Chains A and B, each alone.
Chain A
Amino acid sequence: MVTENEIWDYMEEVYDPEVPVLTIVDLGIVRSITYQGECCKITITPTYSGCPAMKRIEEDVIQKLDEKGIGNVEVDLVLSPAWTTDWLSDSGRKKLKKYGIAPPENEVDKSVLFSEPTIVPCPKCDSKDTKLVSQFGSTACKAHYQCNHCLEPFDYFKCLK
């Protein structure tokens, strides 16, 4: 008999297809797991409304549990409460930096116009002398920065609250 804790462990083996160093548990998008009467229900929430990885993640979850011998799986997508970068785990933040993506700073750009962008340290050399190239990066969850010190262009996993 499988326990819910074991299923949480299995979810640590499912990776985000767009940022493959993070598991879906690191990302904080697995909201709940219940296992009752041989039936497993998993609730996940999208990072962004149009995140194209959600369908893939749902399939990966079902496949992973199938490998573990759990065939009766239901994956529900919920929008509320809305995902925030606060749910990113500490180990997730460390993995991001190692991978070359700056983890979210704990502040959202609040002002509407021409505010000074958030200071994001370079994931390569830790210099704080970096500049925002574009609010919109290679995926919905990232902004594009460049380091003025080592010149490395890098992705910033932008803060969403």
Chain B
Amino acid sequence: MNALFEYLLRLGDDSLILGHRLSEWCGHGPILEEDIAMTNLSLDLIGQATSFLKYAGEVEGKSRNEDDLAFLRFEREYKNLLLVERPNQNFGATMMRQFLFDAYRKLFFERLVHSTDSQLSAIAAKSLKETKYHLKHSSEWVIRLGDGTEESHEKMQSALDDLWKYSAELFYQDDVDEDLIENGIIPAVDAIKGEWDVLVRNVLEQATLIIPSNNWEQVGGRKGIHSEHLGYILAELQYMQRAYPGMKW
């Protein structure tokens, strides 16, 4: 197994699947500005996915490009977090999912910029600038809605109750990470976890939301074990390439 290839799939698939989820809001946003904001986020994420998957294809050396990797893999070969495949539900739940992810991604990219791998460092530097805008946007909505009306508060609390168990996977680590960390290619997760806790708890507190006391951690995505939702996402994402193999436009 090529650890760097495997790790690049994890990064690329997180961006790709979350980008796809956000694109589902196109034309359905609660207000025009947010419709546009979510498609902007989606575009940034799909752009990041393109960079990571393109590089993954080069590292693998089997002449697969970013499109082959995005469109022509089977479900078990996707290595994204379970968090990013969770359904959009309502706007508040989408912002909660985004917030938990953005907080991690910002701290992660800040360190990945110092990677000994120059291509990863370049992608990180580019993506970090975008992610800062994303985090600002999602944190503000979590606070505004959490500390908003009774109904918005209730929806945000229920979103947090639902999504919290998937947040542990952000810090999942296995033998894929170990070598890469040792060689300074990717940052160690522990330090990020500490900062993430502080950042997330601070925002949730301002949002008057309570972190669930149930400590159950749901993981699986990093190993390709997904929830039932990924199949539906891929059915839509891959439809054109499955129906008309190799088509271009």
Contact = CB atoms under 8 A, between A and B. Distances in A.
Interface string B106-141: 000000000000110111011101101101110110
Interface in B1-52: 33-34, 36-37, 40-48, 50-51
Secondary structure type dominating chain A contacts: loop
Contacts of A129: none
A49 B140 contact: no
Interface stretch (A29-37, A96-104, A137-145): A137-145
A79 B33 contact: no
B47 A51 contact: yes
Most buried by A among B46, B47, B51, B139: B47
A52 B127 CA distance: 16
A138 to B, nearest CB: 7
A144 B141 CA distance: 17
B203 interface: yes
A69 interface: no
Contacts of B36: 134, 136-138, 144
Contact of A140 (B33, B44, B118): B44
B46 A50 contact: yes
10 contacts: A48-B43, A49-B126, A51-B47, A79-B51, A112-B135, A135-B37, A136-B37, A137-B36, A137-B40, A140-B40
Contacts of A133: 33
Interface range on chain A: under 10, 10 to 19, 20 to 34, or 35 or more? 20 to 34
Nearest to B135: A112
B82 interface: no
B129 A161 contact: yes
Given A135-B37, A136-B137, A82 B126 contact: yes
B143 interface: yes
B51 A136 contact: no
Interface string A114-149: 100000000000000000011111101000100000
A113 interface: yes
B129 A82 contact: yes
Contacts of A7: none
Interface of A: 46, 48-52, 78-83, 109, 112-114, 133-138, 140, 144, 160-161
B130 A48 contact: yes
Interface residues of B, number: 35
B129 A160 contact: yes
Contacts of A135: 37, 133, 136-137
Contact of A113 (B50, B127, B136): B136
A15 B170 CA distance: 41
A137 B32 CA distance: 10
B232 to A, nearest CB: 23
Contacts of B203: 113
A160 B36 CA distance: 19
B129 A50 contact: no
Contacts of A112: 132, 135-136, 139
Contacts of A79: 51, 119, 122-123, 125-126
A151 to B, nearest CB: 17
Contacts of B206: 113
Given A50-B45, A133-B33, A137-B36, A114 B140 contact: yes
B210 to A, nearest CB: 20
A144 to B, nearest CB: 7
Nearest to B137: A135
B136 A49 contact: no
A51 B130 CA distance: 12
A112 B50 CA distance: 27
A135 B129 CA distance: 13
A51 B119 CA distance: 19
